[in-house]
Chains A and B, each alone.
Chain A
Amino acid sequence: MSIRHWKKAAAAGVILGLIMMMAPVIAHHASTPFYDSSKRVEIEGAVTRFVFRNPHAFLYLDVTVGNGDTSEWQIELGAPVGLRRMGWTPDSLPTGMIVKASGQPSRADGSQGLCCVRMTKADGSPVLEGGRVEERTPAR
């Protein structure tokens, strides 16, 4: 591939990436009552459960904390009825898979939830082959 073609491909990728990041996915409820959009939290952990059901898919991770214990985090994703159209399936996040996620933390004291995440495999590649890493834009 020539440099010109690489440039075109890169530009197309950037445009596609921007479009995908901006495109709000199907919403059942607004995220703001549950998650604090002014904060950002990053976690890395092993998948323990991926509940691929409407109205929202949820991913559960065991995250290792300082003393070696694990702590469960719950990540809210989009509606499977929409995620399926982007190639997601119930097998996209198998148990034991290590993922990195950064997103808005949940509001309730002591809770460990995230939404609106940017999510990758441990090596930084998209969870879904060819897919985006930015999960969704808040619905308001």
Chain B
Amino acid sequence: MKPEGNNKELIKSEAIGYTKDLLVKITVGTSVLVLLMLYSIPKLGAQGIDDHIPDLAGIWDGSPRARPVNGENVPWGEDNFPVLNERAIAYQQVWEEIMAPKYDCQPASSPAIQYDPYHMLVTQWPDRVLFRYEKDDQLRTVWLDGREPSATDFSIQGFSVGYYEDDVLHVTTTHFVFDVAGFDDYNGIPSSSQKVITEEYWRDGEDLKVTLTIEDPMFLRESTAYTTRWVAGREGYKLAAYDCDPESSRASVRFYPSKYK
């Protein structure tokens, strides 16, 4: 009987030892896993805290409080008006203002929407920055997590990726669809699927500033750029719905003396 009892004790002792080993292994394994996850989170979420992330979040006012209203000569003047190639000039020759798709409520895109004199809301998440424009109810997402556009990511606002560096948000946008008025809404200059917009956003005191560069080898001989700013939106201001109305959008078209019958 005794030997049996000793065997039982031995088995019990081995079982306890095995359980302890298992617990230690589980604890160590879990700890390693947690550490690995903690280590990888900043990488999944784009950038860590050492990248000098500027505070861009909030409601920003781009109305005439901040700058002149947009138009044929604003923000493009003598100094930065693009050098057009023959293709762009040919488009301009057949251009009529009423061809602009904005008269059917097609939203403005880059590089015009940044200069439109409206408010915008900027939201910063770890893996993206969201630009919500009051004009045309548009939302742009700037991905910070390293993803790349696929061949089906073409759209009016294109596909934006970015990163922070030295208190500046750098954004590159590609994959725009062709737009017959895609340069700036005012000058009859189209933009192509080769349009590339780069933006640099930074804080200048209480202001938000951007330097925007456009290149489009299909229509422009060289890149061109402008810099503009937003002032802080008044406290409590909330973006209003734009809800573009096709009838109102097109109501003035009949006043245009078209050269085409």
A residues with a Cβ closer than 8 A to B are: 23-30, 33-35, 51, 53-58, 74, 76, 81-82, 84, 106-109, 111, 113, 115, 139-140
Residues of A within 8 A of B146 (CB): none
Given the contacts A27-B70, A109-B257, A54 and B251 also touching, CB distance less than 8 Å: no
Q: Mark B106-139, 1 if CB is under 8 A from A, else 0.
A: 0000000000011000000000000000100000
The 4 closest A-B pairs by CB, nearest first: A53-B245, A106-B255, A33-B97, A140-B71
B252-A113 in contact (CB<8A):
yes
Nearest CB of A to B110, in Å: 17
Residue picked from B69, B74, B117, most chain A C-beta under 10 Å: B69
CA distance A28 to B73 in the complex (A): 14
A54-B252 in contact (CB<8A):
no
A51-B245 in contact (CB<8A):
yes
B242-A81 in contact (CB<8A):
yes
B256-A33 in contact (CB<8A):
yes
Residues of B within 8 A of A57 (CB): 248
Output the nearest chain A residue to B185 by Cβ-Cβ distance: A29
Residues of A within 8 A of B242 (CB): 54-55, 81
Task: Please list 25 pairs of residues, one from A and one from B, whose beta carbons are closer than 8 Å in the complex, sorted by A's number.
Answer: A24-B68, A25-B64, A26-B63, A27-B70, A27-B71, A29-B103, A29-B186, A53-B248, A54-B243, A54-B245, A54-B248, A55-B245, A56-B248, A56-B252, A57-B248, A58-B248, A58-B251, A81-B134, A109-B257, A111-B254, A111-B255, A113-B252, A113-B255, A139-B71, A140-B74
A54-B118 in contact (CB<8A):
no
- Is B102 an interface residue, CB under 8 A from the partner? yes
Given the contacts A24-B64, A54-B243, A34 and B248 also touching, CB distance less than 8 Å: no
CA distance A56 to B245 in the complex (A): 9
Output the nearest chain B residue to A76 by Cβ-Cβ distance: B252
A35-B255 in contact (CB<8A):
yes
CB < 8 Å neighbour of A34 from B71, B105, B243, B255? B255
Residues of B within 8 A of A23 (CB): 64
CB < 8 Å neighbour of B102 from A28, A35, A51? A28
Nearest CB of B to A18, in Å: 14
- Is B4 an interface residue, CB under 8 A from the partner? no
- Is B240 an interface residue, CB under 8 A from the partner? yes
A55-B248 in contact (CB<8A):
yes
- Is B247 an interface residue, CB under 8 A from the partner? yes
